[in-house]
Amino acid sequence: MNLEGKQQIWKDYQKDIADDRYYYARSCIRQTFFPGSEWAYLDILGNKLGKTVFDDPRHTTCTGIGYHSDVVPVETIMTVVARHFALMTEAGFENITPSCITSFGIYTEILHTWEQHPEWEEKTRDFLWKATKREFKKPKNLAHTSDVIYKFRNEIAAQKKYSLTDVHTGQPLRVVDHIGCHYAKMFPSKGIGGAEFPAVLSGMVNAWGGESIDYPERRHCCGFGFRNYLVMANRGFSVANSKKKFESMQPYEPDFIVTNCPGCAMFLDKWQYTISEMEGTTYGPNGYGIPVLTYEEMAALVLGYDPWEIGLQMHQVSVDPLLEKMGISYDPEAKYKNIRGENIGRPQCPTYLKV
C-alpha cells in the first residue's frame, strides 16, 4: 500500500478545530461503558494541555440512539440539540465537542439541514423558546473529541511516558483503527482525512510511536445498527458484522484495535467474548482476544495514567498483555479493587477466551 497516496488524501481533508474553550457534550454509551475515558479526556485537556473545557451538569442525552431507532422524531432531536447550543451560548462558549460519534453525526447533520432549509432552524428556535424560554447561537466550531486529541497529538507526544512500541522487541505496535460510521461517512469533509482513509486515529498512532495497519474490512460498520443491537432478537446482525471485521484484521496480527466511537469500542470488545462462547473462536495470540482501546485510553496510557483509574479493568478482552508489551508499570493486584483498595470480587473466566 502506497503511503504517499494516502497522505495526499489526508492533505485534502483538513478541518478547523478550535484550539481552546470547548463545551463538552457527554456520551450515553461512553460514560456507561468507558467512564474512565471521559474522565481521562477532561483531565488530559485540563491538566496536561492547559485547556478550558466546560462540563455542564445541565447537559443531557442528545436522544440520538432514540432518533436512529426511529422513536424520536427529527423535530424533537433538533430542539434537544438546540438546547445544548443554548446552554453553550449561556455559558459563554462557542466551540462544541461531542464525545459520542452518533451525537457528532447528528450535530453535523442538523447544522447542515438548517443551512439547506433555514425554515427548520426557525421552527426549532420557536420550539425551544416555547419549551424552555432559551435562545441559542450556533457553534462557531464543531469537532469530535477525537479531533481535539488529534489536533494536540504532538503536544501529547512531547509529554509521553510510554510509546506505542513493544519494549521487548523495540518494534512499533501494530494498530488497526475503526472509525465510527457517523464520523465522516455522512459528511466526508467533516472528518480528518475524509471518509475513505480517515487519519484521525492513525495520526495519533503514528505520532505516539505505533504503526497503523490497514485491513480490508476497515471501513465496514461494527454492526451496532441501533435497533439491530438494542432489540435482543436482532443481535445476530450486530455480532455477524463485528465477526466479519475480526476475521479480516486477524491475519495482520494487530496488537490492539483503537476506535473513536464509544459504541464500536464496546461492541468490538464484547463481541469477541460472545463469539468465543458461541464458537470457541478467539482472535488474538494463544487464546487471548485483540484488546480494544478508546483513543482516550490510548492517549492516557501513553501519558502514564494508571490503567485501572482509566477503567481498563472494565474491558472484557484483557488488556494486561498489551500493558506488558508496552512496558507499563502497573499493579496487577489492584485491578479488581475499589477506590479504598478493598476486594470487590472478580469477574468469572470465560470458557474459551483467555483473560
Residues 76-135 that bind another protein (CB under 8 A): 76, 78-80, 83, 105, 113, 116-117, 120, 127-128, 130-132
Q: What is the DSSP letter of 92?
A: T
Candidate ranges 61-69, 90-98, 160-168, 296-304; the one touching another protein (CB under 8 A)? 61-69
Question: Please, what is the minimum distance in Å from the beta carbon of residue 237 to another protein?
Answer: 5
Instruction: Give the CA-trace dihedral at 41, 221, 243, 227, to 10 degrees.
Output: 90
Question: Interface mask (CB under 8 A) for another protein, residues 136-175, using x and -?
Answer: ----------------------------------------
Question: Please, what is the minimum distance in Å from the beta carbon of residue 167 to another protein?
Answer: 26
Q: Is 209 in the site for another protein (CB under 8 A)?
A: no
283 contacts: CB under 8 Å, gap ≥ 6: 246, 247, 249, 250, 272, 289, 290
Q: To which H or E segment does residue 278 belong?
A: helix 262-279
| Residue nearer to another protein on the CB measure, 81 or 156 | 81
User: Considering only residues 21, 51, 72, 211, which one is a binding residue for another protein as defined by CB under 8 A?
Assistant: 72
Q: Can you spell out the DSSP letters for 8-52?
A: HHHHH------SS-EEEE--HHHHHH-HHHHHHHHHIIIIIS---
Three cell numbers, residue 326 = 508496552
Sites for another protein among residues 213-272 (CB under 8 A): 214-221, 223-228, 230-237, 239-241, 244, 251-252, 270-271
Q: Closest Cα partner for 317 from 344, 295, 349?
A: 349
Q: Is 65 in the site for another protein (CB under 8 A)?
A: yes
Q: Is 203 in the site for another protein (CB under 8 A)?
A: no
Question: Interface mask (CB under 8 A) for another protein, residues 23-52, using x and -?
Answer: ---x-xx-xx--xx-xx-------------
d(CA 134, CA 259): 35
26 contacts: CB under 8 Å, gap ≥ 6: 38, 55, 59, 99, 100
> How many residues of this chain bind another protein (CB under 8 A)?
110
d(CA 226, CA 245): 18
- Pick left, alpha or beta for residue 287 (phi over 0 → left; psi -120 to 50 → alpha; otherwise beta): left
Q: Is 301 in the site for another protein (CB under 8 A)?
A: no
Dihedral sign, Cα of residue 256, residue 261, residue 266, residue 267: negative
User: Considering only residues 182, 190, 208, 265, which one is a binding residue for another protein as defined by CB under 8 A?
Assistant: 182
Question: Please, what is the minimum distance in Å from the beta carbon of residue 159 to another protein?
Answer: 20
Sites for another protein among residues 333-352 (CB under 8 A): 336-339, 344-350
Q: Is 188 in the site for another protein (CB under 8 A)?
A: yes
Question: Please, what is the minimum distance in Å from the beta carbon of residue 329 to another protein?
Answer: 19
Q: Is 2 in the site for another protein (CB under 8 A)?
A: yes
d(CA 170, CA 264): 30
- How crowded is residue 248: how many other Cβ atoms within 10 Å of its Cβ? 15
Question: Please, what is the minimum distance in Å from the beta carbon of residue 110 to another protein?
Answer: 11
From the number of C-beta atoms within 10 Å of its C-beta (0-12, 13-18, 19+), residue 8 rates as: exposed
Question: Please, what is the minimum distance in Å from the beta carbon of residue 44 to another protein?
Answer: 13
| Residue nearer to another protein on the CB measure, 167 or 231 | 231
Residue located via cell numbers 446482525? 237
Question: Please, what is the minimum distance in Å from the beta carbon of residue 31 to another protein?
Answer: 5
